[in-house]
Amino acid sequence: MGIRPMLSSLIRNKTGPLLVALQIAVTLAIVINSLFIVVQRIETMNRDSGIDVDNVVVIDVRGFGEGFNVVDSIANDIDLISAIPGVIAATVSNHAPLTGSGSGTGLRSVPDETIDAIPAGRYQWSEKGLDALGVRLSRGRNFYPEEVNFVLPETDNGTPPSVLVTQQLADELFPDDDALGKPVYWGNMELSTIVGIIEHMHGSWVSWDNLGNVVIQPGKPAFINNRYIARVDPGRRDEIMPIIEQRLGESNLMRVVKDVRSLEEMAANSYRRDRSMAIVLATVITLLVGLTALVIVGLASFNVTQRTKQIGTRRALGARRIDIVRQFMLENWLITTTGAALGIVLTAVVAYWLETAFALPRLDWRYLPVGIVSLWVLSTLAVIEPARRAASVPPAVATRSV
């Protein structure tokens, strides 16, 4: 049987097949756009942060009461944490990257208030800081221990003369020049000199446009709330975290150990919205594809039962089994292709809506062919079993009366 008689049969009973084609079209539009969002979110979550996230521990403490000496407390705590076997390095810091809690600043390459400052995340930590996060310095030098002083509240601590910046920030500040050794100006127009360049590092707010812009000052912030960062030997984090909590808790009753958390957990928390969106959409895609496949199978099976007599007649008139299979496959293929054609238009409409109404990134067109081919494969697989059942209808059925 050629394509023409089949077409005429489809056209005569056009509503059913048209509905299936429409369903396939909407399915395609949802799946392609959702899949694109899922992949984008996964890419965002898997970005290289430049930090040894898996092996870093973040500790929050807070002193209280009369006679609490914050400087002594921090010095003792850092010594205590560093002495625990398996701890590679530890520092006190104003904030920890990727946690959603941070400090932002603006830097300029010239002392001129009227030009816009380059935004950057600002950290302040000791000479151990880079090691405590596993961040790599690509050029220049780390802070010298003698550059690192306690930064006390209600005291004029001055602007530290040295800073480290990420390569990305360096490039934004000095697009045409090598930033190493150059002065940068803070909001109060005091200057610091770039002594080292960090290859790559993320700041605190994972959805910020300037996530990769980071500047680091030497210092040990000594406020009421203190945050320590420690890096441990790979694979030993979960064993060492309770030890840190216990030793710190015992060592000083004038400060509360608020939290000992892995940076991995805190970073995952920062990416929660992306992860949740990816999982919800992946579930939607799975349900949708499953449902559409089942509907194709169901309809094809029903058709086979309904058309037993017609198939029997064709077989009796000399059609081979393969011809029957071909008939069903071809019919299905026609429906799927019509659906895919409609689906391309619908996909574009949905993509346009997402892009304009929600400022989501523009759909990558390469998802279209991938989606269409997957759909063809899926609908072919769905119709194979019913088609084989159709082919097994014996020719003699035609001669029997119902």
Partner 1 sequence: MFGYNMKLAVTSMRRNPIMTTLMVAAIAIGIGVSMTTLTVYYLMASNPIPEKSEVLFAITLDSWDPLRPFDDDYPERAPHQLTFGDAERLLQLGKGKRQTAMFESSLIIEPTNDGGLPFEATSRVATADFFEMFNVPFLHGGGWGEAADDAMEPVVVLTRQLNERLFGGENSVGRQLSMDGMLFRVVGITDTWEPTPRYFDPINGGFQNVNEMFIPFSLTRVLELGSIGSDWGWKAESNNSFEQWLNSEAVWIQYFVELVSSGERSEYVAHLDAYVNEQKRLGRFARPLNNSIHNVMEWMEYHAVVADDYRVLVGLSFLFLLVCVLSTIALTLTKFIGRKGEISLRRALGASRTTIFKQQLVEVGAIGFTGGLIGLCLAGLGLQGIKILNDAPDGLVTLDWVMVLVAIIVAIVSSVVAGIYPAWRVCQIPPAAQLKTQ
Which residues here bind partner 1, judged by CB under 8 A? 13, 15-16, 19-20, 22-23, 26-27, 29-30, 33-34, 37, 62, 64-66, 113-114, 116, 153-156, 186-189, 223-225, 256, 258, 269, 272-273, 275-277, 279-281, 283-284, 287-288, 291-292, 294-295, 298-299, 301-303, 305-306, 350, 353-354, 357-360, 402
Adjacent-strand bridge partners of 255: 63
Measured from the CB atom, the residue of 79 and 113 that comes closer to partner 1 is 113
Measured from the CB atom, the residue of 66 and 146 that comes closer to partner 1 is 66
Measured from the CB atom, the residue of 28 and 74 that comes closer to partner 1 is 28
Query: What minimum distance in Å lies between the beta carbon of 308 and partner 1?
Result: 12
Measured from the CB atom, the residue of 137 and 256 that comes closer to partner 1 is 256
Measured from the CB atom, the residue of 88 and 151 that comes closer to partner 1 is 151
Tell me how far apart the alpha carbons of residues 30 and 23 are, in angstroms, rounded to a whole number.
11
Measured from the CB atom, the residue of 137 and 295 that comes closer to partner 1 is 295
Query: What minimum distance in Å lies between the beta carbon of 66 and partner 1?
Result: 6
Q: What are the structure tokens assigned to 58, written together?
A: 């973040």
Query: What minimum distance in Å lies between the beta carbon of 276 and partner 1?
Result: 4
Q: What are the structure tokens assigned to 128, written together?
A: 């151990």
Measured from the CB atom, the residue of 141 and 272 that comes closer to partner 1 is 272
Query: What minimum distance in Å lies between the beta carbon of 16 and partner 1?
Result: 5
Measured from the CB atom, the residue of 38 and 179 that comes closer to partner 1 is 38
Around Cβ 302, how many Cβ atoms within 10 Å? 12
Query: What minimum distance in Å lies between the beta carbon of 27 and partner 1?
Result: 6
Closest CA to 61 of 252, 256, 253: 256
Query: What minimum distance in Å lies between the beta carbon of 275 and partner 1?
Result: 7
Query: What minimum distance in Å lies between the beta carbon of 20 and partner 1?
Result: 5
Tell me how far apart the alpha carbons of residues 375 and 335 are, in angstroms, rounded to a whole number.
11
Measured from the CB atom, the residue of 31 and 164 that comes closer to partner 1 is 31
Around Cβ 237, how many Cβ atoms within 10 Å? 19
Whether the CA torsion 171, 173, 176, 182 is positive or negative: it is negative
Tell me how far apart the alpha carbons of residues 392 and 375 are, in angstroms, rounded to a whole number.
26
Query: What minimum distance in Å lies between the beta carbon of 65 and partner 1?
Result: 6
Residue with tokens 């040990």: 220
Query: What minimum distance in Å lies between the beta carbon of 354 and partner 1?
Result: 6
Query: What minimum distance in Å lies between the beta carbon of 13 and partner 1?
Result: 8
Adjacent-strand bridge partners of 197: 139, 165
Measured from the CB atom, the residue of 291 and 381 that comes closer to partner 1 is 291
Bridging pattern class, strands 214-218 and 162-166: antiparallel
